[in-house]
Structure 1
Amino acid sequence: MELLATECLGKPLRLEGSMAGWQQLYWDNTLVSQLDASSSDGSYSSHSFTLLQGEVRLNCKLQIELVWQPFNIDYKLSINEQPIEDGSRNQKDIEQQVPFTPPKAERRFSLIGLFSLGMKALKSAKLIKVVLASASLAAYSWLFSFQFAIALIACLVFHEYGHVRAMKYFGMKTKGIYLVPFLGGLALSDEKINTRWQDVVISIMGPFFGLLLSIALLIAYFITDNMFFGGLAVFNAFLNLFNLLPILPLDGGHVLKSISFSMNSVTGIVLCAAGAIGGVVISYSLGLTLFGFLLIMGTIEIVLEWKQRHHSHLLPLDRYGQIVSTLWYLGLVFALISIIWYFASTGDALLQLPLQILGT
């Protein structure tokens, strides 16, 4: 992950590292110094490198003191033993930084390039959103009814809006909400996350907004005694509870991944694999064919996370963050189950509707 980004002699100076112990220092996107896991002295590290300014050789040194939990890095940059810059960074600074992306090589004209330009043009015109939203409305109207399709899309949009608000809270640029027929919705961003805490908050805010919507519908049901509001409240609660299952790529799977891989990589792979196995059991017992597709995607994501465990750019959760994330997740699950349980205790057939829909 990127630990530090500053300037040296008018060029970008970037330090990358991981909890495994390795560090790499880049000046003008060129590697000038690196340390392996055995080179650091506790939390103290020093990078020495030489730069040329004309015919003058400059001896540069970057000294850092790094603490991972809670994250804090103090640094001092000097040239020819003269102090140039010093400062410190914490988790808030990491969350607000824009991850470095290598410049893309120029490509010659090709059909693929032309297709890519066409896709960008469609995105800029927001045509894809309109087409997908229309297709979702048509698909759900065909399966159920037009009125139910409108209500379902409203629930999906409110859920995805929770993700969008979390992204904007962290200062990330968003591409908006895309509705995908039969698969729900997607909230996309132009930027990558930098910390596991961001992953937890962005993932969990969708179901959290879903809970707020179910509570509002529940209040409307109590006031009007209209079963439409009651049915929509329990269906929306079940939809968001389903999304909180600890299976990748669902929101609950991302929360589990962030918590478990912050403990250590072995715990991460064990817990995520247990979640996938649990998904197989649930899929078999309830006959939910949708899980087959999700489990394939989730397995791929777990494998990729394991392979990149020593080069992850995400700052892990500290112990406090792990506890808060766990309690937030469990509290949300309990609240959604309570809404479903309330309607189940009335003896109404509303609870069977979500299961029948997921089964198809």
Structure 2
Amino acid sequence: MELLQLQHFGQTLRLEGSLAGWQQLYWGEHLVSQLTATENQQSQSTHAFELTSKPEQATVPDNENIAQTDNIIKCQLVTELTWQPFVIKYELFIDGVSVAQGSRNSKDIEKQIPVKTVKEEKKFSIVGLASLGFKLLKSAKIIKVVLAGASLAAYSWFFSFQFALSLLACLVFHEYGHIKAMQYFGMKTKGVYLIPFVGGLAVSDEKINTRWQDVVISIMGPTFGLLLSIACVLLYWITDNIFFAGLATFNSLLNLFNLLPILPLDGGHILKSISFSMNSKLGLLACIAGATAGVFVSYSLGLVLLGFLLLIGSLEIVSEWRTRHQSHLLPLDRYGQIFSSVWYLMTVAGLVAIIFYFAKSGDQLLALPLQILGA
């Protein structure tokens, strides 16, 4: 991940590093210094390198009092890095003279635009394939209308027109949660696309830089979904209209499935960000213990399908844990890991509670979501 960007001599001095300990320093596209994980065991690191320049083409500013008659420019970047919470202090020396110093935290990383675009390996998925196709057509607003109409027709075929329309409103509200989170981080959004039998997509062209951004953007959709289900429960208590009860329980089911730890679902992004931020085997064991407890609770409550999918998704995330150092995303600190875990568990608990509440009403339709989870 990119830890630092400095502009000097008409080029960008870029420091990259990982939790594993290695660091690489680039001047433009040229690697000028690197430290392996074995060499970089301390929080303070020093990168020393030299640049060559003809006297008449020297680009060093006069006010920096640096001799411009030599062909060799000696540079040194000294950094002090703390991962949790993330803070990097730096000072740049040119021919022994300090020309830049300062510090950066996680907020600075969130706002930065990476000089080098990171190309992540994409796994095949229907949602990912659909997202790629719709990104190619996102400039045409008519596409949104066509997809919304197709989704409405598809859901009306299974349910009533009124319930299908309400279900689409739930999907849009869920995706609006993602949109609000993206806007909170200053990201430009392209709107919401509804996909028949799949759900919806909140589209943005901008990339995230931290695990915290990934967690907040991912979990805000299910959180908005939970709030909407609670609102429907309140409307049901006030009006005694079973329509609101059905909307509350089916909306809870949709958002609960979205929180499964399976990529590219929101739950997969959330739990992957939490587990990949744990830089020790103790953290991995805590992640495994949490997943085991989740599976046990699911089976104890009779939620067989939920427990099975939770098990499969957790095993996938744990198996990929060793690749966490290859990510360009800044990891969560300890507070972020705990807060994200509690937020995730409370959202899941709230959705399950609504499903259980209406399943006990005796209505066959309202009991259907619980029957699906227990299949």
C-alpha displacement at 1:129, in angstroms? 2.5
* TM-score, normalised by the number of residues in structure 1: 0.83
CA separation of 1:182/1:268 partners in 2, compared to 1, >3 Å: closer, same or farther?
Answer: farther
Q: Does 1:126 align with 2:146?
A: no
C-alpha displacement at 1:190, in angstroms? 1.2
Amino acid paired to 1:38? T
CA separation of 1:307/1:40 partners in 2, compared to 1, >3 Å: closer, same or farther?
Answer: closer
Check conservation: 1:343, 1:350, Cα contact below 8 A: no
Check conservation: 2:359, 2:367, Cα contact below 8 A: no
Q: Does 1:175 align with 2:195?
A: no
CA separation of 1:40/1:80 partners in 2, compared to 1, >3 Å: closer, same or farther?
Answer: same
SS of the residue corresponding to residue 145 of structure 2 reads: helix
CA separation of 1:341/1:298 partners in 2, compared to 1, >3 Å: closer, same or farther?
Answer: closer
The superposition leaves residues 207-259 of structure 1 with CA deviations (integer Å, 9 ceiling, x where unpaired) of 11001111211222222221111211121122212222233332222222121
| Match in the other structure for 2:226 | 211
Q: Does 1:60 align with 2:75?
A: yes
SS of the residue corresponding to residue 246 of structure 1 reads: coil
C-alpha displacement at 1:358, in angstroms? 8.4
C-alpha displacement at 1:23, in angstroms? 0.4
| Match in the other structure for 2:367 | 352
| Match in the other structure for 1:37 | 37
Determine which of 179, 188, 197 is the counterpart of 2:203: 188
| Match in the other structure for 1:10 | 10
The superposition leaves residues 65-101 of structure 1 with CA deviations (integer Å, 9 ceiling, x where unpaired) of 0011111000001111111110000111111212333
Separation in 2 of the partners of 1:298 and 1:189? Answer: 27
CA separation of 1:21/1:217 partners in 2, compared to 1, >3 Å: closer, same or farther?
Answer: same
Amino acid paired to 1:341? F
Check conservation: 2:44, 2:79, Cα contact below 8 A: yes
What RMSD, in angstroms, separates the aligned Cα atoms of the two structures?
3.3
Query: Structure 2 regions of 5+ residues with no counterpart?
Result: 56-70, 120-132
Q: Does 1:335 align with 2:340?
A: no
Check conservation: 1:5, 1:13, Cα contact below 8 A: yes
The alignment-based identity, stated in percent, is: 64
| Match in the other structure for 2:265 | 250
Separation in 2 of the partners of 1:194 and 1:132? Answer: 31
Check conservation: 1:95, 1:170, Cα contact below 8 A: yes
CA separation of 1:102/1:184 partners in 2, compared to 1, >3 Å: closer, same or farther?
Answer: closer
Separation in 2 of the partners of 1:297 and 1:186? Answer: 21
The superposition leaves residues 129-151 of structure 1 with CA deviations (integer Å, 9 ceiling, x where unpaired) of 33322221221122222222211
Separation in 1 of the partners of 2:12 and 2:151? Answer: 46
The superposition leaves residues 90-134 of structure 1 with CA deviations (integer Å, 9 ceiling, x where unpaired) of 111111212333499xxxxxxxxxxxxx98773212343333222
Separation in 2 of the partners of 1:242 and 1:189? Answer: 23
| Match in the other structure for 1:49 | 49
Query: Structure 1 regions of 5+ residues with no counterpart?
Result: 105-117
Separation in 2 of the partners of 1:223 and 1:41? Answer: 62
The superposition leaves residues 328-354 of structure 1 with CA deviations (integer Å, 9 ceiling, x where unpaired) of 112112222222222223222243333
Separation in 1 of the partners of 2:48 and 2:143? Answer: 50
| Match in the other structure for 2:58 | none
| Match in the other structure for 1:227 | 242
Check conservation: 2:291, 2:314, Cα contact below 8 A: no
CA separation of 1:352/1:120 partners in 2, compared to 1, >3 Å: closer, same or farther?
Answer: closer
Separation in 2 of the partners of 1:103 and 1:19? Answer: 17
Amino acid paired to 2:24? Q
Separation in 1 of the partners of 2:368 and 2:82? Answer: 51
Check conservation: 2:118, 2:328, Cα contact below 8 A: no
Amino acid paired to 2:92? L
C-alpha displacement at 1:180, in angstroms? 1.5
* TM-score, normalised by the number of residues in structure 2: 0.79
Check conservation: 1:161, 1:177, Cα contact below 8 A: yes
C-alpha displacement at 1:265, in angstroms? 7.1
Aligned residues: 341
Separation in 1 of the partners of 2:28 and 2:353? Answer: 55
Q: Does 1:86 align with 2:108?
A: no
SS of the residue corresponding to residue 277 of structure 2 reads: helix
| Match in the other structure for 1:322 | 337
CA separation of 1:180/1:66 partners in 2, compared to 1, >3 Å: closer, same or farther?
Answer: same
| Match in the other structure for 1:149 | 164
Check conservation: 1:173, 1:191, Cα contact below 8 A: yes
Check conservation: 1:47, 1:62, Cα contact below 8 A: yes
Separation in 2 of the partners of 1:308 and 1:94? Answer: 21
| Match in the other structure for 1:108 | none
C-alpha displacement at 1:261, in angstroms? 1.6
